[in-house]
Amino acid sequence: MELTLRPGRHEIIEKQDPVHEWRVARLARLGIPWPVAEAAAGHVDWHQMAALVQRGCPPWLALRILR
C-alpha cells in the first residue's frame, strides 16, 4: 500500500497494490476469511496454497503450513 498526499491538500490517499489485492482475492476464494487473507497475502505463495487445498488440505491448515 502506498500513501500519497493529494496535491494542494493535506489529505492522505491510499493506493492499493493491485498484485496484493489479486492475492487477497485468490486466498479468499480458497476459503480464507478476507481479513486473514489481507494479512497473509504478502507472506504466502498463492500457488502453493492452491495446490495444498486442491489436494484436500483445509484452507486454514494450508495457511498455517505455509506461514
pLDDT tens digits, 28-65: 999 999 999 999 999 999 899 999 999 999 999 999 99
Count the domains in the chain.
1
Please tell me whether the overall predicted TM-score, pTM, comes out greater than 0.85 for this model: no
Question: Are 6 and 13 contacting, i.e. CB atoms less than 8 angstroms apart?
Answer: yes
Q: Look at 4-13, 14-23, 56-65 and tell me which has the smallest mean pLDDT.
A: 4-13
| 4 within some domain | no
Separate counts of helices (H) and strands (E) for the chain: 4, 2
| 7 within some domain | no
| 23 within some domain | yes
Domain hosting 60: range is 17-66
| 57 within some domain | yes
